Amino acid sequence: MLRVLLGFVLAAITGTLFAVICSRWSWLDQFFSPIKSLIRSTPISSFIILVLLWISVDIVPIFIAFLTVMPIIWQSVQQGIIQTSPLLLEMGHIYSFSPGKVYKYIYLPSILPYFYSASATGMGFAWKACIAAEVIAKPLFSVGKNLQDAKVYLQTEELFAWTFTVILLSLSLETVLKRLIHMETGKLERKTNAPV
């Protein structure tokens, strides 16, 4: 759970940062676009094997979860920035909105639906990537290692039990995330409907 959450949070922060930077400077977007496509199209197993050459087995699942989710967040947040209404931005300029107000009342309502959608998708991918990395890297005290051991030693009951555990944990985390998103969406609607 900790590995998945760490990878996801790092991906959300980094992906959002890259989205903002690439939206601001088009030449950076052109520079990073092939790298983003490469990350998205390369099989996870290839990344896991390559990363194992350079970093500790305990860090590999976190890094793989991060690498899988980051392009999803990046693409979605950047799309939200691009889709921000130019008429609203012009209105903000006419009424001399401060940069803080432009961000809060114009950019944020446009970006957050994309971010929330990417987060819900990314959480599922983070789980799959992290478990796959654990199966190959076999760090201590990991579900992936136990899954691999159960397969090797033909412990069918344990294999099903660990698989069921992964499903339960994944569904629990996704449910919590969706509830948080629902709560934050309600707060945002109340804030944006408030007088400026």
79 pLDDT band, cuts 50/70/90, is very high
Query: How many domains, in total, are found in the chain?
Result: 1
CA-based nearest residue to 129, from 44, 70, 54? 44
Q: In terms of residue numbers, what domain contains 182?
A: 2-193
CA-based nearest residue to 36, from 69, 3, 61? 69
104-158 pLDDT, tens digit per residue, is: 888 888 898 889 889 888 888 898 899 989 888 888 888 888 888 888 888 888 8
82-106 pLDDT, tens digit per residue, is: 888 888 888 888 888 888 888 888 8
Quick one: what percent of the chain has pLDDT higher than 90?
20
**CA atoms of 189 and 153, how far apart (whole Å):** 54
Helices (H), 53-155: 60-82, 86-94, 99-102, 108-137, 143-152
194 pLDDT band, cuts 50/70/90, is low
Cβ–Cβ under 8 Å, residues 26 and 33: no
Q: In terms of pTM, does the model score above 0.75?
A: yes
**CA atoms of 47 and 39, how far apart (whole Å):** 9
Query: Token pair for residue 71?
Result: 């392009």
Average pLDDT, stretch 43-69?
89
**The CATH number of the domain where 110 resides is what?**
1.10.3720.10
Which residues does 125 contact at the CB level (< 8 Å), separation at least 6? 68, 69, 72
pLDDT at residue 18, as a whole number: 93
Query: Token pair for residue 152?
Result: 């090797």
Residue 190 has pLDDT above 70, yes or no: no
